[in-house]
Amino acid sequence: MLLKGHTALITGASRGIGAEIARRFSRQGCTVIINYIDDKDPVDDVLEDVKKSSSNSVKIRFDISKQEDVENSVNKLVEELGGIDILVNNAGILKSSKLTELKHKDLKEVLSINLEGSFNCLQAVSRYMIRKKYGKIINISSISQFTPFFNTVHYAMSKSGIKMLTRCAALELGEFNINVNTIVPGIIKTGITDDYKDENLMKKMEELIALKRIGSPEDVASAALFLASSLSDYITGTEILVDGGFTLFKNKVPY
């Protein structure tokens, strides 16, 4: 088992990519901490799945965009579980709006969750990792960090920030044996993409993907497992592109 004896905090793990990473980690012997914020999400279903492989796994509700909430929760988790070896900054939101119509409250919400929230968790957890002189931090970004899409300027801004958060953190934390890397998913079938019901659009997307299929949360979870394990011990400050070859194309994205 690649993660036996380790404990991982995965934010936004009640559904989608985060939930699949939680399941994959637990099957590799990891104690999983499932972070969630919305009580309507199926967090109990995910925890039930995870506990089949890792009985010590737990769920915890806290808002990653609130620094004090994050710090109090991380302190509590470390006290109860003995530490956090792996952090997966997965939680995020996507809202669509034209640049000229973007409301400031929506801009602030996206940045506070996607970027500031990732920083809050990284900062709080890395303090304990420094003491232990070990840690794996994985930030989930998006191809929006370098590929512009219509009506997503605030989302792209947040994900571009993740790129430099990863690189700066890797530079500062490397001497403490802490690896910091980014996974950059392409078009992945999750709750976010389900909001786009246009089948013709999704078919056009598939045509632009070298592997000719939309990605799955399992595809991202495989990359996360690699970065969380000892297989990636000499990899830090970089990114793994999980997009099926979507960004190989220079064609105009069809929306």
pLDDT of residue 103: 93
> What is the model's pLDDT at position 149?
86
Measure CA of the first residue to CA of the last residue in the chain; give whole Å. 43
With 0.85 as the threshold, say if the pTM is over it: yes
Q: What is the Cα–Cα distance from 118 to 15, expressed in whole angstroms?
A: 18
The predicted pLDDT at position 225 comes to 98
Which of the residues in the chain have pLDDT under 70?
A: 191-198, 250-255
Catalytic positions are: 155
Q: For position 233, what pLDDT does the model report?
A: 98
Q: How many residues does the chain have?
A: 255
DSSP 215: B
pLDDT at 197: 56
pLDDT digits (tens, 9 = 90+) for 48-59: 999 999 999 999
Strands (E), 111-238: 135-140, 178-185
pLDDT for 65 equals 97
Q: Are 119 and 162 in contact (CB under 8 A)?
A: no
pLDDT computed for residue 220 by the predictor: 98
For the CA atoms of 238, 9, 242, 236, the dihedral, rounded to the nearest 10 degrees, stands at 10
**17 in Cβ contact with 190 (< 8 Å):** yes
Query: Strand (E) positions, the chain?
Result: 7-10, 31-36, 58-61, 86-89, 135-140, 178-185, 239-242
Pinpoint the alpha helices (H) of the chain: 16-27, 43-51, 67-81, 104-111, 117-132, 153-173, 191-194, 199-207, 217-228
pLDDT of residue 251: 54
Residue 116 contacts residue 163 (beta carbons within 8 Å): no
The CATH classification number of 7-248 equals 3.40.50.720
**Angle subtended at Cα 86 by Cα 71 and Cα 22, rounded to the nearest 5 degrees:** 100
